[in-house]
Amino acid sequence: MTQRPRFHLAFPVDDLAAARRFYGEILGCPEGRSDDDWVDFDLHGHQIVAHRVHTPTGVRATNPVDGDDVPVPHFGLLLDPDAWRVLADRLIAAGVEFVIEPHTRFAGEPGEQSTMFVLDPCGNALEFKAFADDSMIFAR
């Protein structure tokens, strides 16, 4: 039996309680193990770990992509289009401010995708995107 690959990402937060609310309540990530200075979350089967740091976190640069200033670094997920729409609606309902509003990028071109960017309460940038056609994920 082959198990699908999963990623693990540890990232800094300067407010663990705010990170718990954002990842747990707003994004709906079930919480796993935790300690006083870190907490595991299940991000659609992937393990992400918020580690408390004592220095400010946040976006440090942007890169222009298709008319948007994309925050760098960032992380996120490729979702199916229906799950992407559900998440976009959930973020809108929660009053989360978008860095880049939900929209379609590269319309009619190879790599056409729905995308949106948000910041967690500690300034970490997240991108969520969806491809109507998965064969376009790495299209040139």
What confidence score (pLDDT) does residue 52 get?
A: 96
Q: From residue 80, give the alpha-carbon distance in Å to each of 20, 53, 98.
A: 25, 33, 20
Q: Burial letters for 21-40: b for 16+ Cβ neighbours within 10 Å, e otherwise?
A: ebbeebbebeeeeeeeeebb
What confidence score (pLDDT) does residue 66 get?
A: 87
From the CA atom positions of the chain, what is the Rg in Å? 15
Spatial separation of the C-alpha atoms in residues 108 and 44, rounded to whole Å: 29
- Over residues 107-138, the pLDDT tens digits come to 999 889 999 999 999 999 999 999 999 999 99
What confidence score (pLDDT) does residue 60 get?
A: 79
Architecture of the domain delimited by 8-52: 2-Layer Sandwich (3.30)
Q: Where in the chain is the domain with CATH 3.30.720.120?
A: 8-52
The fourth-level CATH superfamily of domain 61-136 is: 2,3-Dihydroxybiphenyl 1,2-Dioxygenase, domain 1 (3.10.180.10)
How many residues appear in the chain?
140
What confidence score (pLDDT) does residue 1 get?
A: 52
Q: What is the pLDDT along the chain (140 residues), one digit of tens a residue?
A: 566 789 999 999 999 999 999 999 999 999 999 999 999 999 999 999 999 999 877 667 999 998 999 999 999 999 999 999 999 999 999 999 999 999 999 999 988 999 999 999 999 999 999 999 999 999 88
